[in-house]
Each structure stands twice: as structure tokens, then as C-alpha cells.
Amino acid sequence: MLKQKLEVLFGQYLNAFERYDLDKVCDCYHLPCTLNTPDKIVLINDVKQCEQEFSAIFTQLAQANTDKIIARKASYMHLNENLVIACIDWDFVDDKAQVFADFSAFYHISVTYSDSAKITIQELKIINVVSHELSNSISLPHTFLVTAQ
């Protein structure tokens, strides 16, 4: 069940990026959350801050003439019953079919359940993402697919 939920979450995430959909991308995040790149760390406390941060990212993607976003590989593991880590290697491709950005992102994802026995997963939300150079990618024990929903 976790694998399918991750595929849905990141399918929606990819779809939101491809459509520059602020509402949908913010829906993928638990607030507050943090975004970490080699250049900066951003603490996002509310929806307005989330929209501002991703609006800036979407502007950069539009200016780069992004045509395709590809998840090269995706894997995950449980850290505990309420936390999952995922690693996804991303390629951002422009309208000339050139990869203009490739990197590995590590996502910490909160897991909430719809029952007290913690059997049925209700929701997954990203609480932290850390982007690194592709050379820092790792393969976690379980794989999953990322395709737009």
C-alpha cells in the first residue's frame, strides 16, 4: 500500500510541476516544511509562503523553456511508522531536448493513518526535501515509479 501511495503522491507532484499548479504542489507538502538546496534553506510556514516559493521555482522552469521532467529512479524506505524517506533522481529537459538540470532529491514524508491500528494509510505529505548533485544519489531498499497523474 505504501508504494502505491508514494506513486500517487509523486505522480501528483510531477503533474503539478508540469502544469505549474501552485495549489496542487502545495497540497503535496505538510506545513510547516523545509526546502533545502545547495544555495539555501527555506522554512515554509503557511500556504502563502509555499505558493511564493514554488511560484519562483515555476518562473525559473518557464524561463528555461522546460518541456519535460523525468524521474530517472525512485526508491524509498520506512524510517519509522510515521516517517518515510524517498530518493528521486530528476532530469529537467528543455524544448531542445537538452537536460538543463539534473539532481537527486531526498524527501522526508509524513505518514498519517485512517485507523488507530495504523494499517490503512490516509495521507502522505512531504515535510522536508533536500536537493543534491546527482553524484549523491542513493538507492533505498524499495523502488517505485513516478509518472504524471
Write down the residue that cell numbers 503557511 correspond to.
46
> How far apart, in whole angstroms, are the C-alpha atoms of residue 17 and residue 22?
8
CA angle 25, 29, 33 (to 5 degrees): 130
104 pLDDT higher than 90: yes
Q: Which residues pair with residue 35 across a beta bridge?
A: 42, 129
The three-point CA angle 70-99-59 to 5° equals 80
In the predicted structure, residue 149 carries a pLDDT above the cut 80 = no
Question: How buried is 146 (Cβ within 10 angstroms: 0-12 exposed, 13-18 middle, 19+ buried)?
Answer: buried
- The C-alpha atoms of residue 45 and residue 51 are separated, in whole angstroms, by 11
Residues 6+ apart with CB under 8 A from 8: 149
What is the band of 146 on the pLDDT scale with cuts at 50, 70, 90? very high
The pLDDT value recorded for residue 99 is 96
CATH class of 2-143: alpha beta
Query: 84 and 121 in contact (C-beta within 8 Å)?
Result: no
**What pLDDT sits at residue 148?**
85
Predicted confidence (pLDDT) per residue in 114-130, tens digit: 988 888 889 999 999 99
Residue 27: band (very low, low, confident or very high) from pLDDT cuts 50, 70, 90: very high
Q: What would the grid cell of residue 1 be?
A: 500500500
Give, in order, the Cα–Cα distances in Å from 112 to each of 2, 51, 76, 120: 11, 24, 17, 9
